[in-house]
Amino acid sequence: IESIFILTIITFYLGILGILINRLHFLSILLCLELLLISLFLAIAVWSINVNANFILPINLILLTLSACEASAGLSLMVALSRTHNSDLVANINLLRQ
């Protein structure tokens, strides 16, 4: 179980590193955010198994629901950005107001 904790910590930091490196493209930022949420989901699930805490399971379901909402909102922004500006550059997000 300790190796799974180490794996979740590594994936969390890889997600943060991916966001810092790939700041140009919106799709890569969305993928890194999903990696952050999946690693957090896995860490909470493993922790709840480790301490035999069954009350943590609803928190995992809420986190999974929020992750799906974040993905759908991000993809809708991605579609709007690519339709209006034909690119997924983060610099074009401020141009969506016009």
Tens digit of pLDDT per residue, the chain (98 long)? 788 889 999 999 999 999 999 888 888 888 899 999 899 888 888 888 888 877 777 888 888 888 889 889 888 888 888 888 787 777 777 765 65
Picking from 24, 20, 49, 47, the residue whose alpha carbon sits closest to that of residue 35 is 20
- Coil, strand or helix: which one is 22? coil
The matching CATH number, chosen from 3.40.1190.20, 1.10.390.10, 1.10.10.10, 1.10.287.3510, for 2-97 is: 1.10.287.3510
Provide the greatest CA pair distance for the chain.
Answer: 52
Distance CA 96, CA 75 (A): 14
**pLDDT of 14:** 93
DSSP class of residue 96?
Answer: G
Domain ranges of the chain: 2-97
Picking from 6, 35, 5, the residue whose alpha carbon sits closest to that of residue 21 is 35
CB 73 within 8 A of CB 9: no
**pLDDT of 95:** 62
| pTM attached to this predicted model | 0.80
